[in-house]
Amino acid sequence: MSRKKQALNPYLPSWEYIPDGEPYVFGDRVYVYGSHDKYNGHVFCLGDYVCWSAPLDDLGNWRYEGVIYQKRQDPLNRDEKMCLYAPDVTVGPDGRYYLYYVLDKVSVVSVAVCDTPAGAYEFYGYVQYPDGTRLGEREGDEPQFDPGVLTEGEKTYLYTGFCPKGDKSRSGAMATVLGADMLTIEQPPVIIVPGQEHSAGSGYEGHAYFEAASIRKKGDTYYFIYSSELMHELCYAVSKNPTEGFSYGGVLVSNCDMYIDSYKPADMPAAYGGNNHGSMVQIGDDWYIFYHRHTNGTWYSRQGCAEKLCFRDDGSIVQAEMTSCGLNGGPLHGEGEYPAYLACHLFTSQPSVYVGGDAFPKIMQDGRDGDEENGYVANIKDSATIGFKYFDLQHVKRIGIATRGYANGVFEIKAGWDQTVLGTIPVENTNVWEWNWTEVTIPDGISSLYFTYRGDGNASMQAFAINDREENLR
């Protein structure tokens, strides 16, 4: 029987930029809804909404569902001058699928509807009070942003809010209850998690609400997922009631792996982070957190990633570690060729929590947005480290890397970022991709692979190979 395709991180093709992922299981597939960045984009969310899905039993086999909603479909945006910010989807009491979103220059919540999870959505209306006033436009309303939705019976719970540092007019994350028509407000907004300017004495200090509202329910517990004032982390709060009583739970994932101390110091950033947005989903017996990472050395070309979650007996959640194997259900095969864009760790001897700057390595691609060009790691200078995890390594004797660029030096091979150098691969100036190899022995078992560049110049890394033969590579 043929082996299923491995699931990789990022889980979509490297030329696709879908951040703010909201995953849902509908039928026998998992669907991911998000905003749509462009490669080399100058701002967030320049594209129309698209959808991808995968079979529940084959999470490495993602299918493009196409464009599901265009920015010009909103009556407020016929001229397409506003971007579609992060959406969410819920199934209404009528069995139809409702897509909630906010445009980038207005503070109202728009709704579109479709009969299928990934068909063509049509504009439906705006969330409003019974008198027809749109939410966000009544006196005293706070601006709406980043809707997250959960429907139970005839009620839909809508969570919104954006709380930048220094703005005391923004109180925190809001919960609003909608009726069966999915538009009309039955209970006006209440604050469930404070923003930074209102977090003193709340238990949320240091991890107060910033943006990226999302909601999930496990058993009888509501998990409110959000991006904190630090931006790089997705946190969660828990309650037995969807509109009150939430208490801070912890960090689900950080897109620079802050606080993880299993392989590095807790305060060491292992990637270049930035804003974060995503949510949880149960697939089979397992739960996963979907989030995004930053590429191209900017904030505006983000890619979806996912990691397995572990729940403790009390319902709390262990922070997930960034990996290259995400949805795979275990380590990747310890043989063959892998693209370098799977790097879950990128850093140099100069630490940085946030993305940006010419000194740091970055994941990028050739061509323009939409070109189906595989990504690679670029701007590799002295001390740059590229990390991948995890692999089931057995009888490893040979490692190769494909590089290009004007650089003279070596790539050190290690099983951990600070572990003993197991071998080195020399590289020289080349303007085309070339493979170089070394014989190396790596202990058998589940392991990481790290490549650290030592030398002059600036290199790019396209791929690496384990125990393969050069003639077998593309």
CA distance 129 to 296: 43
pTM for the whole structure: 0.97
**pLDDT of res. 4:** 81
Is residue 137 annotated as a catalytic residue, yes or no? no
CA distance 192 to 235: 14
Is residue 57 annotated as a catalytic residue, yes or no? no
Q: Enumerate domains of the chain plus CATH numbers.
A: 22-328 (2.115.10.20), 332-472 (2.60.120.260)
Annotated catalytic residue, options 74, 141, 197, 211: 211
Q: Are strands 110-114 and 122-126 parallel, antiparallel or unpaired?
A: antiparallel
Q: What residues contact 249, with CB distance under 8 A and at least 6 apart?
A: 223, 235, 236, 237, 238, 316, 317
Tokens of 243: 């509109």
Q: Tell me the CA distances in angstroms from 295 to 15, 38, 203, 278, 417, one per residue in order.
A: 11, 11, 33, 17, 21
Which of 438, 428, 371, 388 is CA-nearest to residue 404? 428
Q: How many other β-carbons are positioned within 10 Å of the β-carbon of residue 366?
A: 13
Tokens of 15: 């030329």
**pLDDT of res. 357:** 85
CA distance 145 to 158: 11
Q: pLDDT 10s per residue in the chain (474 long)?
A: 345 899 999 999 999 999 999 999 999 999 999 999 999 999 999 999 999 999 999 999 999 999 999 999 999 999 999 999 999 999 999 999 999 999 999 999 999 999 999 999 999 999 999 999 999 999 999 999 999 999 999 999 999 999 999 999 999 999 999 999 999 999 999 999 999 999 999 999 999 999 999 999 999 999 999 999 999 999 999 999 999 999 999 999 999 999 999 999 999 999 999 999 999 999 999 999 999 999 999 999 999 999 999 999 999 999 999 999 999 999 999 999 999 999 999 999 999 999 998 899 999 999 999 999 999 999 999 999 999 999 999 999 999 999 999 999 999 999 999 999 999 999 999 999 999 999 999 999 999 999 999 999 999 999 999 997 655 554
Angle at alpha carbon of residue 64, lines to 60 and 65, rounded to 5° = 130
Burial 287-322 (b: 16+ CB within 10 A, else e): bbbbbbbbbbbbbbbbbbbbbbbeeeeeeebebbbb
What string of H, E and C letters represents the secondary structure of the chain? Answer: CCCCCCCCCCCCCCCCCCCCCEEEEECCEEEEECCCCCCCCCCCCCCCEEEEEEECCCCCCCEEEEEEECHHHCHHHCCCCCCECCCEEEECCCCCEEEEECECCCCCCEEEEECCCCCCCEEEEECECCCCCECCCCCCCCCCCCCEEEEECCEEEEEECCCCCCCCCCCEEEEEEECCCCCEEEEEEEEEEEEHHHCCCCCCCCCCEEEEEEEEEECCEEEEEEEECCCCEEEEEEECECCECCEEEEEEEECCCCCCCCCCCCCCCCCCECCCCCEEEEECCEEEEEEEEECCCCCCCEEEEEEEEEECCCCCEECCCCCCCHHHCCCEECCEEEEHHHCCEEECCCCCCECCCCCCCEEECCCCCCCCCCCEEEEECCCCEEEEEEEEECCEEEEEEEEEEEEEEEEEEECCCCCCCCEEEEECCEEEEEEEEEEEEECCEEEEEEEEEEEEEEEEEEEEEECCCHHHCC
Tokens of 206: 């240091």
Q: What residues contact 139, with CB distance under 8 A and at least 6 apart?
A: none
Q: How many other β-carbons are positioned within 10 Å of the β-carbon of residue 262?
A: 7
Annotated catalytic residue, options 16, 20, 146, 307: 20
Q: How many other β-carbons are positioned within 10 Å of the β-carbon of residue 358?
A: 9
Tokens of 266: 């807790």
Tokens 């969660």 belong to 236
β partners of residue 413: 423, 451
**In one letter, which amino acid is 30?**
V
